[in-house]
Homo-oligomer: A and B are copies of this chain.
Amino acid sequence: MIATRAYGETAKDARRKAILDAAGHLFEAARSLPTAALIAKQAGLAKGTVYLYFESLEELFGALVLDGWDAALGELEASMASASERGSVNNAFPISFAAMVETRPVLMLLDGVLPELKTRMSDPVRQAFNERLTRRLMQTGERVEAALQLPTGRGVQLLVRCHAMARGLWQSFEAIDPSCAIASSVLPSFSSELREALGEYWRGANADVSPSHG
């Protein structure tokens, strides 16, 4: 019952990925950070092996967040690029963003535990995490600026604000208890809420400031 050994960089990357997948699945199922023992079991490995690939659980979860956002932002960039080609850039961003979020509930779930998680990270781990995440966001920000012909810096700004809206709504809505959400009569579903709210924000963000007839 000893796992096959991962020799070579490719195999090791794959194993690392497998561990992250295991952790992700468990987290999604339980909506709560899994233990090292559980992750190992799910990945078909021994507990110690997990620590061969990650220096601590916090680093592991950090990597999960980072990888998740990397993929999601990549998708977003692709959407923007193709929209840019078709000339229909206008409201593409909030729509693509909402789609991206809805496709990946794990990301929102992970965002929910991030504050708690960061608390427990060691200083260097947290620093590395923050830096990598920031860098990735800024990259997408630049792509957005290019696609929408926005001034420098405006891309990340929009990205961060849309993300904030999504994350905040998620936590109010579906975070833990979909059934007993806030005023389910008034605010029907996370999905429609998100689209509407992002739409409103986007409209305000792109309005000419001058003729503001509130």
Contacts and interface: CB of A to CB of B under 8 A. Distances in A.
A210 B133 CA distance: 39
A68 interface: no
A114 interface: yes
A197 B164 contact: yes
Q: How many of these chains are in the complex? A: 4
Contact of A164 (B32, B113, B118, B164): B164
B183 A138 contact: yes
Contacts of A91: 214
A67 interface: no
Interface of A: 31-32, 90-91, 109, 111-116, 118-120, 126-127, 130-131, 133-134, 137-138, 141, 153, 156-157, 160-161, 163-169, 171-172, 175-177, 180-183, 185-187, 193, 197, 199-208, 212-214
